[in-house]
Structure 1
Amino acid sequence: MNQVHPLGTLDPRVIPPLTALLAFERAATQLSFRRAARDLSLSPSAISHQIRGLEQQFGTKLFVRGARSVRLTADGEHYLAKVSAALAMLHEASRDMLRQRRETGGELWISSLPFFTSTVLLPALPEFKRRHPRLTLRIEATHQYADFNGSRVDVAIRYGREHSAGLKVEPLVKVKSLPVCAPALVKGGLRTPEDLSQQVLLHVTTQPRTWSVWLKEAGLAHLTPRGHLWLDSVPAMLEAAEHGLGVALGMAPLIRARPGFGKKLVAPLAFEPTHSETIYLISRTEQARDRRISAVRRWIADAVARAS
């Protein structure tokens, strides 16, 4: 039996294109064709064209156009209220569909710091596959911002507390900077923080202030090292340290879980700074009851405990 819409059969010819409705809603909300164009990545003339099409379809003016501004007519204000409500319903319906796909799908996307990925997540992957053989993880190792709205990220692991609305932020572990190097540098005389003046300091381009913060806490803000070497990631920096190219700052206590620590890489200095950073696990609040997220959260917490 065919279902009939409560207001009668829908006539698709009456409903304007979605692009026109979006253009109208943005322009009416912003009271500016230029700002609407910016929001929708269109040209102002394209916005004007879409709205002109609506006005021709309905046979009425939606905007009063001035030399430098626009304002809504009475018909425009009435139509904006209806269009805004309809677009909000479409938006929520689409989010529900995406949420359902995420929660019933067999994949989960993790965006994680490169060092955390290599030191904590990868060694623990066999245990995850044993626990959850039907769930596939897709892990992206990156320092870039995790876009929960514009990407497929389900879980992110980052420094610092996110304040974005709609995100659940949970502390995983506090870390401190720990100088590490190849054993050969210790044999060459690296014993105290002052000895760093004879060494090359290894840096990560995305974390340019880590050494200056550490040296300031050690009372050596004006120390001049023998040189500097910049790398594009923490794993690359630690590999350079293992090859004896200089002294790197690892994240204690996680650095001690790195394969080869104690042999290829050692911590030569006794000084421990008071400054610490927190690594957080970030997910959507709307997925709080997602069993996949809960499973990954428990697995990551166990992996951190083992690495620490």
Structure 2
Amino acid sequence: MNIIHPAHVPGYALRAIPPLTALLAFERAATQLSFRRAARDLSLSPSAISHQIRGLEAQFGVKLFVRGARSVRLTADGERYLAKVAVALATLQDAGRDMLQHRRDASSELWISSLPFFTSAVLLPALPDFKRRHPALTLRIEATHQYADFNSSRVDVAIRYGREHSTGLKFEPLVTVKGLPVCAPALVKQGLRTPEDLSREVLIHLTTQPRAWPAWLKEAGLSHLVPRGHLWLDSVPAMLEAAEHGLGVTLAMAPLIKTRPGYGKRLVAPFAFEGAYHETIYLVSRTEQARDRRIGALRKWIMEAVARAK
């Protein structure tokens, strides 16, 4: 009687390997000890991260996390699994980087992942200058609010708010920005003079920054102000266009808003009050590409473009 070991059954060994999406969700959540931060890193919802991890726990029949009201921590099984998963994912990342690096080295293309308003206010006006300096290089610009995945994409540099700790990435400050209320001149003529007058106006929000207006109102001492209404849009250009059409008041990115055509005419800042809260926009690149001449040329061009836009 021949006995076949289960490991020799086609596909048997693969049953112990969960989907990559689940492994990535687990690694991010275990490293950050936060489903919310893991969700942000992977451009998913916290419930999606939780679903992936529950799938792993069901597959292996163990608890990987102890879930508290406001935090999570790894169980002993979770810590043991993380040690091996992290090594496996690092091996996959190295293999992917090697493939992408080989392709990039032979390529004349450079990929930029940039915030939409930064793209329109800073990068696009400076493109003719880049082409004049580097005619052999082609730029591919993705205007998005999503965090760039340097491990699995072709992104060479990213332009992002905030400095998140990430191994292998270099963060260089580009510009400090503040939220500046702006509106059409007609609203000012109708009596919009002070922050208190916002109670008669519609506030225009960016869907990816729901705390922007509440933070500004808190600084102005108006945490409990109730506006006439709210308008939510998914891009900064759409917000600014809505404000120009007199649909309400929105928060622009100062000082970069000054580069927008029509600023001071079709779009004005109605208040003298200026909050202290600010954020920094960073240029993010791989530390391993620090000596890449193409990345160096891109970095120099972006920093000079920012200096002209201030």
1:170 aligned to which of 164, 169, 172: 172
Asked which structure has the greater CA Rg, the reply is 1
Aligned pairs for 1:51-90 (under 5 A) are: none
1:159 aligned to which of 158, 161, 172: 161
TM-score by length of 2: 0.72
Whole-angstrom distance in 1 between the partners of 2:249 and 2:152: 38
1:270 aligned to which of 272, 280, 294: 272
Gap change, CA 1:91 and 1:167, over 3 Å in 2: closer
1:220 matches 2:222: yes
1:290 to partner: Cα distance: 0.9
TM-score by length of 1: 0.72
Gap change, CA 1:41 and 1:180, over 3 Å in 2: closer
1:285 aligned to which of 284, 287, 294: 287
**AA of the residue aligned to 2:295:** I
1:261-307 Cα deviation digits (max 9, x unpaired): 11111111111111100001111111111111111111111111111
1:186-225 Cα deviation digits (max 9, x unpaired): 1111111111111110001111010000000000000111
Gap change, CA 1:101 and 1:249, over 3 Å in 2: same
1:233-259 Cα deviation digits (max 9, x unpaired): 111001101111100100111111111
1:129-152 Cα deviation digits (max 9, x unpaired): 111111100001101121111111
Q: Is the 8 A contact 2:93 2:151 kept in 1?
A: no
Question: Size of the alignment, in residue pairs?
Answer: 240
Residue matched to 2:143: 141
1:194 matches 2:209: no
Residue matched to 1:121: 123
Residue matched to 1:208: 210
Residue matched to 1:5: none
Whole-angstrom distance in 2 between the partners of 1:199 and 1:170: 38
Gap change, CA 1:100 and 1:184, over 3 Å in 2: same
Q: Is the 8 A contact 1:103 1:290 kept in 2?
A: no
Q: Structure 1 stretches (4+) deviating beyond 6 angstroms?
A: none
Whole-angstrom distance in 1 between the partners of 2:260 and 2:150: 29
Secondary structure, counterpart of 1:118 in structure 2 = helix
Whole-angstrom distance in 1 between the partners of 2:252 and 2:197: 18
Residue matched to 1:48: none
- Aligned-residue identity in percent: 73
Aligned pairs for 1:19-38 (under 5 A) are: 34=16, 36-38=17-19
1:91 to partner: Cα distance: 7.0
Gap change, CA 1:105 and 1:247, over 3 Å in 2: same
Whole-angstrom distance in 1 between the partners of 2:152 and 2:132: 31
Q: Is the 8 A contact 2:100 2:154 kept in 1?
A: no
Aligned CA RMSD, in angstroms, stands at: 2.6
Whole-angstrom distance in 2 between the partners of 1:259 and 1:271: 23
2:297 aligned to which of 295, 298, 301: 295
**AA of the residue aligned to 1:37:** P
Whole-angstrom distance in 1 between the partners of 2:188 and 2:200: 12
1:176 to partner: Cα distance: 0.5
Q: Is the 8 A contact 2:96 2:151 kept in 1?
A: no
Q: Is the 8 A contact 1:181 1:246 kept in 2?
A: yes
Gap change, CA 1:289 and 1:303, over 3 Å in 2: same
Residue matched to 2:248: 246
Secondary structure, counterpart of 1:37 in structure 2 = coil
Gap change, CA 1:201 and 1:289, over 3 Å in 2: same
Gap change, CA 1:270 and 1:40, over 3 Å in 2: closer
Whole-angstrom distance in 1 between the partners of 2:253 and 2:61: 55
Gaps of 5+ in 1: 1-18, 28-32, 43-66, 70-83
Residue matched to 2:231: 229
Secondary structure, counterpart of 2:19 in structure 1 = helix
Whole-angstrom distance in 1 between the partners of 2:94 and 2:201: 57
Gap change, CA 1:68 and 1:138, over 3 Å in 2: closer
Residue matched to 1:10: none
